[in-house]
Structure 1
Amino acid sequence: MYRSTAKHFIMTLFAFLIAFSVHAEKLPNITILATGGTIAGSGATSTTTVGYTAATVGVQQLINAVPELSKISNVTGEQVFQIASESMTNEHWLTLGKRVNTLLAQPNVDGIVITHGTDTLEETAYFLNLVVKSRKPVVLVGAMRPGTALSADGPINLYNAVLIAGSPEAVGKGVLVALGDQIHGARDVTKTNTSTPDSFKTPELGMLGYVQGPKAHFYHVSTRKHTVETEFDISNLSALPQVDIVYGYANMNPVALNAFIAAGAKGIVHAGTGDGSVAAKVKPDLAAARKNGTVIVRASRVGNGIVARNGEANDDELDFVVSDTLSAQKARILLMLGLTKTSNTKELQRMFYMY
């Protein structure tokens, strides 16, 4: 009787250990690339939710602050940069994009999470959406409040991002953004508020899904081409063409436009009023810039809607490009990458309707 009970106990324990081992082996391998930002920030007191210092906490400290990560993934961390995201540059993007592609090419990396400041998070996400060469999930995550705050949102956002990055449902959906229990697509998400935790939204076209419990739930996907479907290759790029943004407003003048042209801009995104309207005082200078070889993209400062080709300007006659639904800051990214391939405006317009 004793031997039978002991044998049963040993067999049960052995089966448990095998099951535990199999479960552990099935956990996805997620690499967290840290770049700084509020999610890595700290404040003077627990009630400091503005006026804090960004980019003070290292990646391992971020991981250690969320021990629950070990239950959903095998996590490793790497500090790529340690900056506030308003200081993000083209050079940072190229370095980050190349590192992401290198990691995703490794069979032991199932997905990547990038911690990032929220000020330019949407721009970095869209850049990666165009240059990542893998179907594996890449998820950008940030926080609107530093980790020292009473209501810090960074830890749960990081947990959700790792959960998404390890989710089979996230494969092939392009670069994603995770904040506030929501999943957004890189192309259309934007920061809508200076300080509240629910700042990130996709106002018109809609978020892709939610994180609830231990699962990512997807309801929508973007129809625009991304990642492995794009024509952009940054593997041998050391710099991107200079593209600047000119903002439209009442009583606008061409001073800023001409300064950018004089400084060597290869492209200009004109964030016009309404449907990308061009002020009478500025139109001749935009037309002259285009005749001299600078590519002009008409975008809108409104934030939503399609910029109609040949709507508020005769784009065919002026040889301008329109941004479709891209914001000015994202149109700048696509134009920079487009100019690494061609300066033909018809080809560039094709890209704006494709990506």
Structure 2
Amino acid sequence: MADEVVLYTLGGTISIAGTVGDGSGVGLVARLGGADLASDVPGLAETGVPLKVEDIERVPSADLTFAQVLDLVQRASAAVRAGAGGIVVTQGTDTLEESAYLADLVWPHPEPLIFTGAMRNPTLAGPDGPANLLAAVLAAAEPKARGLGVLVAFNDELHAARWVRKAHATSTATFASPDAGPIGRLEEERVRILTVPPRRTPLPIPSAEQLDRVRVGLHTAVLDEQGDELDGIRERCQGLIVAGLGAGHVTRRLVPALTDLAARMPVVLTSRAGAGPVLRHTYSAPGSEIDLQNRGLINAGLLHPYKARVLLRLLLAAGATGEEIARAFAEHS
């Protein structure tokens, strides 16, 4: 018999079972627990994978916090130390790429940790939750998935948390890895691993109090900025992510503010494009990647802005120095 897989539920579309009125005109969402979700998956019982269910939260993923995700990782880690062969987490898709990446940064075990969810809830025609949950459980129980880090199971594909992103607001094929493609697929209830993503040394888990003290801003560069868009950042934040144009560019009008901020806090340069890297030595005009790096901005490489924010906040909360942050981004980029 396969080792036990533990299923943790956090809510999200996969769990929605309709709405009920509360008399105020605002519908309250009724949510299914993990046992109900599992019972609705055709063929799950026939896999022979023992499944233990723990309901943690029943909330939209927009309401999840770093502390909640890291608490779940610690629960999952304890379950693995107690003998679980793999872990599955269900949550809403809106922040799933960030939750999975946060978990991947700190996950120390070879046992698989699989995130999944749904785009169509169980009250709609053709809900995708059952198929996604089946794929996640099979991947969590698959010996070949060991050592791959945190994965996302969706639409019969497996994606590395490092590369995956939500690429469509409504499609059931929303999760994609533009820079790498899926690392595995589900074929006739069989998990096929296509490639092995690189693993990094797990980062320390900061306390909820440490996390609460850290704010990381995110600024997206757009056409015709005037240069004052970053006013007040240094009073509110301890770090900043810049989602630059193209391969990592901003208007020259923002350069003085970014120069000042980079002297006071870690400022990380990413691309808003959705795929492809921030370049390092191609463009040299004011506001280009060469200019910004010379002014102290940290190049995030292939890391998307949202994931760069996850990494920077985790590092700052753990007390990393500027040099340690630069090294971490060089390693994870």
Equivalent residue letter for 1:272? G
Query: Residue in 1 aligned with 2:171?
Result: 196
1:42 is paired with a residue whose SS is strand
Q: Give, in angstroms, the shift of residue 236 of structure 1.
A: 4.8
Matching of residue 308 in structure 1 with residue 279 in structure 2? yes
Q: Give, in angstroms, the shift of residue 53 of structure 1.
A: 7.7
1:139-177 deviation per Cα after TM superposition (whole angstroms, max 9, x unaligned): 000111001111100001101100000000100011000
Hey, what's the Cα distance between the residues in 1 that align with 2:208 and 2:130? 35
Q: Is residue 293–residue 299 contact of structure 2 (8 Å, CA) maintained in 1? A: no
Equivalent residue letter for 1:150? A
**Any stretches of 5+ residues in structure 1 without a counterpart?**
1-25, 45-51
Give the TM-score of the pair, scaled to structure 2. 0.89
Matching of residue 83 in structure 1 with residue 59 in structure 2? yes
Q: Is residue 179–residue 275 contact of structure 2 (8 Å, CA) maintained in 1? A: yes
1:36 is paired with a residue whose SS is coil
Query: Residue in 1 aligned with 2:321?
Result: 343
Matching of residue 248 in structure 1 with residue 225 in structure 2? no
Q: Which of residues 95, 101, 121 is equivalent to 2:77? A: 101
Q: How does 1:95-134 map to 2 (within 5 A)?
A: 95-107=71-83, 109-134=84-109
Q: Between Structure 1 and Structure 2, whose CA radius of gyration is higher?
A: 1
Hey, what's the Cα distance between the residues in 2 that align with 1:171 and 1:187? 16
Q: Give, in angstroms, the shift of residue 68 of structure 1.
A: 2.8
Query: Residue in 2 aligned with 1:289?
Result: 261
Equivalent residue letter for 2:188? G
Hey, what's the Cα distance between the residues in 2 that align with 1:55 and 1:245? 33
Query: Residue in 2 aligned with 1:259?
Result: 232
Hey, what's the Cα distance between the residues in 1 that align with 2:180 and 2:28? 33
Q: Give, in angstroms, the shift of residue 257 of structure 1.
A: 2.6
Q: Which of residues 145, 152, 174 is equivalent to 1:170? A: 145
Q: Give, in angstroms, the shift of residue 275 of structure 1.
A: 1.3
CA spacing shift, 1:319–1:139, aligned 2, 3 Å: same
1:287 is paired with a residue whose SS is helix
Query: Residue in 1 aligned with 2:159?
Result: 184
Q: Is residue 54–residue 146 contact of structure 1 (8 Å, CA) maintained in 2? A: no
1:52-106 deviation per Cα after TM superposition (whole angstroms, max 9, x unaligned): 9867222221122126322321111111111111222222222222222222221
Q: Is residue 169–residue 218 contact of structure 1 (8 Å, CA) maintained in 2? A: yes
Hey, what's the Cα distance between the residues in 2 that align with 1:289 and 1:122? 28
Q: Give, in angstroms, the shift of residue 244 of structure 1.
A: 1.7
Query: Residue in 1 aligned with 2:136?
Result: 161
Hey, what's the Cα distance between the residues in 1 that align with 2:134 and 2:209? 34
Give the TM-score of the pair, scaled to structure 1. 0.83
Query: Residue in 2 aligned with 1:218?
Result: 193
Equivalent residue letter for 2:70? L
Percent identity over the alignment? 30
Q: CA RMSD in A?
A: 2.0
1:4-26 deviation per Cα after TM superposition (whole angstroms, max 9, x unaligned): xxxxxxxxxxxxxxxxxxxxxx2
2:210 is paired with a residue whose SS is coil
Matching of residue 36 in structure 1 with residue 11 in structure 2? yes
1:113-152 deviation per Cα after TM superposition (whole angstroms, max 9, x unaligned): 0001111111111111111121100000011100111110
Hey, what's the Cα distance between the residues in 1 that align with 2:76 and 2:29? 23
CA spacing shift, 1:196–1:318, aligned 2, 3 Å: same
Matching of residue 270 in structure 1 with residue 245 in structure 2? no
Q: Give, in angstroms, the shift of residue 296 of structure 1.
A: 0.2
CA spacing shift, 1:148–1:270, aligned 2, 3 Å: same
Equivalent residue letter for 1:252? E
Equivalent residue letter for 1:194? A
Q: Give, in angstroms, the shift of residue 112 of structure 1.
A: 0.3
Hey, what's the Cα distance between the residues in 2 that align with 1:196 and 1:55? 23
Equivalent residue letter for 1:305? G
Q: How does 1:324-339 map to 2 (within 5 A)?
A: 324-339=301-316
CA spacing shift, 1:277–1:235, aligned 2, 3 Å: closer
Q: Is residue 70–residue 103 contact of structure 2 (8 Å, CA) maintained in 1? A: no
Q: Is residue 10–residue 56 contact of structure 2 (8 Å, CA) maintained in 1? A: yes
